A and B are shown apart, each in its own frame.
Chain A
């Protein structure tokens, strides 16, 4: 196995991880979550991170938002060290984390209340405009008449759609998805892939997607990075050549299947070998 084929740094580079190491704990209990990881992501790219569990996929997302700091190395976002340039970030998790006391529409509008420049305009003047925007987005994901409902009145799939709306309402430059479709059934999942693809093609944010589903990665991403564990590192970085918009049928073509098979073997070979006594 060769090291990751790295993208050169260009004007389009939006995210850059340079020799990033991250360790938790201290002394004997120290765990290296990431070891000398390098990654470059271009503006408007859709990158999927796949790999065995515990390889630090979610850690990369947290580093990029600045929620945690690298122990060593550098994280650059939009040309400067993370946190220095305020960029708009949208996030969606496996758990839709809707606030139960708000309606679905108000949940979706929450980022507008927090993130500048919308925050300053959130008063009476723009509120109707923001409402319309939330409704339009809800309509796009198939929740046209659910804005006034409360989260507990919706199913898991519907909540995840709303969660995507919340991640996108403030037109983020960077969208971070941490297994957002992981808890859904296969049919709902495939439906949401199509929704996600459509939204991405329209809004063109830079996306980092953490997933365990290789078909999902192949369907959505323009690049797939395979990670290994202990220490977490990117070991393979390949472009996904299929044209857009992609369809589910495409995932049954021989080229797609052989791609996911190659990825699968790569990940399986990354598993830590059980030591025999």
Chain B
């Protein structure tokens, strides 16, 4: 078995083992469903309530992806703006860190005030959650581009746009994708926060209502759905990353002598 396959097998064993242990501990200590439901019970709940949960799952996924999409657009634009000059980088950074340190939960009521409850504040919350890592990574990637690489282009009388397009952005891709993996999970956090506070649809809302009804298995079913969506999107972006930025991850290959 190759080391890579072995790693995958062990990952799977760990995940299955985690749930088995959880189940066993619940049986052993006779834990009440209202405190922590057993994994088997959560699966049953997912199966029985699946048809009812499905539209909410789609709603959460949709909201997250739209917010994430806007986040990427704005994140890249701001990142390029800030990263393309040393001055802009130094000037804008404190403000950016200031915005980033605001707890995003605190912003949801403001969005609700402006746009009403529903999808819009959730999209916006998802968006602002994921902008910061993207901006920072894109800006850092651009700002740390080796001057020699730019010199080659400048000697050819390349325009600023040429240099950005042919050197700056490709070089920034590994940074960008690293930030996407972080951001996509943050976008979920944003969506769920907003759905919990002000929405009548989405997994966040379902979990909110379920917990006020002491329907704890349903709350946990929601958590499992969120975790699954998060892992799925993470995996998709990892795959795209390895396709596009393979040049930056080449540990296993040897250079020719």
Q: Which residues of A contact B (CB under 8 A)?
A: 65, 67, 86, 89, 91, 93, 95, 97, 99-102, 110-111, 113-115, 150, 152-155, 158, 166, 170, 176
Cross-chain contact B155 with A155 (CB below 8 angstroms)? no
4 further contact pairs, Cβ within 8 A, besides A101-B171, A114-B157: A97-B152, A99-B149, A99-B170, A114-B156
Assuming the contacts A95-B148, A114-B162, asked whether A154 and B173 have C-beta atoms less than 8 A apart, the reply is: no
In whole angstroms, how far apart are the Cα atoms of A69 and B255 in the complex? 40
Cross-chain contact B155 with A89 (CB below 8 angstroms)? yes
In whole angstroms, how far apart are the Cα atoms of A110 and B81 in the complex? 25
Cβ distance A196 to chain B, nearest Cβ, rounded Å: 18
- Nearest chain-B residue to A155 (Cβ)? B256
Cross-chain contact A99 with B167 (CB below 8 angstroms)? yes
Contacts of A153 in B (CB 8 A): 253, 255-256
Contacts of A113 in B (CB 8 A): 166
In whole angstroms, how far apart are the Cα atoms of A150 and B170 in the complex? 15
A-B interface pairs (CB < 8 A), number: 67
Contacts of B152 in A (CB 8 A): 91, 93, 97, 110, 166
Assuming the contacts A114-B158, A114-B166, A152-B250, asked whether A97 and B256 have C-beta atoms less than 8 A apart, the reply is: no
Closest 8 A/B residue pairs (Cβ): A91-B155, A101-B247, A114-B156, A97-B148, A114-B158, A101-B170, A100-B247, A97-B152
Cβ distance B24 to chain A, nearest Cβ, rounded Å: 49
Q: Which of B148, B155, B248, B257 has the most CB of A within 10 A?
A: B155
In whole angstroms, how far apart are the Cα atoms of A150 and B162 in the complex? 22
In whole angstroms, how far apart are the Cα atoms of A113 and B255 in the complex? 28
In whole angstroms, how far apart are the Cα atoms of A166 and B253 in the complex? 25
Contacts of B153 in A (CB 8 A): 110, 114
Cβ distance A178 to chain B, nearest Cβ, rounded Å: 10
Is B49 an interface residue, CB under 8 A from the partner? no
In whole angstroms, how far apart are the Cα atoms of A89 and B173 in the complex? 29
Contact of B151 among A97, A114, A115 (CB under 8 A): A97
Contact of A152 among B149, B255, B257 (CB under 8 A): B255
Is B154 an interface residue, CB under 8 A from the partner? yes
Contacts of B158 in A (CB 8 A): 114
Cross-chain contact B166 with A110 (CB below 8 angstroms)? yes
In whole angstroms, how far apart are the Cα atoms of A67 and B171 in the complex? 23
Cβ distance B66 to chain A, nearest Cβ, rounded Å: 30
Cβ distance B84 to chain A, nearest Cβ, rounded Å: 18
Contact of A67 among B146, B155, B247, B255 (CB under 8 A): B155
Cross-chain contact A97 with B247 (CB below 8 angstroms)? no
Contacts of B253 in A (CB 8 A): 152-153
